[in-house]
Amino acid sequence: LADSLHKKKHTRPTFTGHQIFALEKTFEQTKYLAGPERARLAYSLGMTESQVKVWFQNRRTKWRKKSALEPSSSSSSSSSQRAGGSGGERAASETEDDEYNKPLDPDSDDEKIRLLLRKHR
């Protein structure tokens, strides 16, 4: 009982916008990271491998839950309808969204990541 009173409470890490953005972009490309990929990503983002591992585990759980809630794709339900916009609205924003669909390298795309984050705060 006395030991439990003296233990420091575990604090949750806070990730920067840059880190989250790079993690999300990587998650879009692959849902699972092998050891070397995880080590490289962790190093480039200034995180521990454990943090990256747990972030991916949590993100996969969130992704699975979201996938389970979404109705299966049918011909009457297009992605633009599920996104909540009409075809015209979607087409207008598609060119802007192209920036998000391009793979980002956390080592060489720092400026691009900063611009995208600043644009969407």
- Splitting the chain (121 residues) into consecutive groups of 10 residues, what average pLDDT does each group show? 68 89 94 92 94 94 89 50 43 46 58 62 46
DSSP code per residue over 38-62 = HHHHHHHHT--HHHHHHHHHHHHHH
**Pair of tokens at residue 29:** 């490309």
Span 15-67 CATH architecture: Orthogonal Bundle (1.10)
- Looking at residue 64, its pLDDT comes to 92
Q: Which residue has the tokens 């840059």?
A: 18
The vertex-56 CA angle with 120 and 14, nearest 5°, equals: 55
47 exposure class (CB count in 10 Å sphere: 0-12, 13-18, 19+): buried
The reported pLDDT for the residue numbered 95 is 44
Q: Where are the domains of the chain?
A: 15-67
Confidence (pLDDT) at 92: 41
pLDDT at position 55: 95
Report whether 70 contacts 84 (CB < 8 A).
no
Q: What integer pLDDT is reported at residue 52 of this predicted model?
A: 94
Q: Taking the complete model, does pTM exceed 0.85, yes or no?
A: no
Say if CB 18 and CB 26 are below 8 A apart: no
Give the pLDDT of residue 10: 79
109: burial class by Cβ within 10 Å (0-12, 13-18, 19+)?
A: middle
